[in-house]
Amino acid sequence: MIDYDSARHIEILNKYLGMEHRTDSFNLNESSDLKGALEYAVAAYRDYHHYRSTLGGLVESFDESVEYFDTVSWVNMARTPENADDLTIDCASSLSIAYNNFIELSERAEEHLSVILKVTLTAPDEVQREILGNSFDIDPSEIEERLERLFVALSYSEYHREIPDNFETFLEVLNDEWTDFEPDTEFEPMSGLEPPPF
């Protein structure tokens, strides 16, 4: 939700910096706003997941560098941290904190995207086709498995920095994963949550 004060500040930024940020919340009852909300949710998820993956690789690379180039600190970090080099400890700690924060941020973005996608799936077929390029009549007992498969497939798809490119990739992956979907009879959601009643 965009409150009044935030909207005023965004309007000022837009005016003086030539930007076009939204100054009002999406109305999910309007198909154009629903599509916009989904595009933003996809872009946020893709960006934050990309940063999470990048930081994960950086954490791993840094650990390998310390292991090879500062073996004493590497051993001390695991065995006796008080004897390790302070700067190395600070770097490792900062990277770890940032990585954990981006895990939380990407998980929050995934939850938000799931909610917006579920709202989209409750729309009439013609609205779904307009937004998703297809319409899906999904058994509520399958939604969590479909979402989980979608997010796994997205993690292997090409990342784009631009919102339209990320949305196009999202739609391709969604349609690849959900067309001719065969449920796993032994599937249990990772979150342990019950499917939504829609």
* pLDDT tier, 81 (very low <50, low <70, confident <90, very high otherwise): confident
Q: What is the C-alpha separation between 178 and 149, in angstroms, rounded?
A: 9
Q: What is the mean pLDDT of the chain?
A: 87
Q: What is the C-alpha separation between 143 and 1, in angstroms, rounded?
A: 26
- Tokens in use for 92? 């490792």
Q: Phi then psi for 70, rounded to 5 degrees?
A: -145, 60
20-25: which pairs have CB atoms within 8 A and are 24 or more residues apart? Answer: 25/1
Whether 40 shows a pLDDT value over 70: the answer reads: yes
- pLDDT, position 26: 85
Rounded to 5°, the CA angle 57-164-150 comes to 60
Span 108-125, pLDDT tens digits: 999 999 999 999 999 999
Global confidence as pTM = 0.82
Q: What is the C-alpha separation between 30 and 127, in angstroms, rounded?
A: 10
Q: What is the C-alpha separation between 120 and 176, in angstroms, rounded?
A: 18
Q: What is the C-alpha separation between 162 and 141, in angstroms, rounded?
A: 34
Q: Give the pLDDT mean for 4-18.
A: 82
- pLDDT, position 197: 35
Q: What is the C-alpha separation between 104 and 52, in angstroms, rounded?
A: 9
Span 135-181, pLDDT tens digits: 998 888 889 999 999 999 999 999 999 999 999 999 999 999 988 77
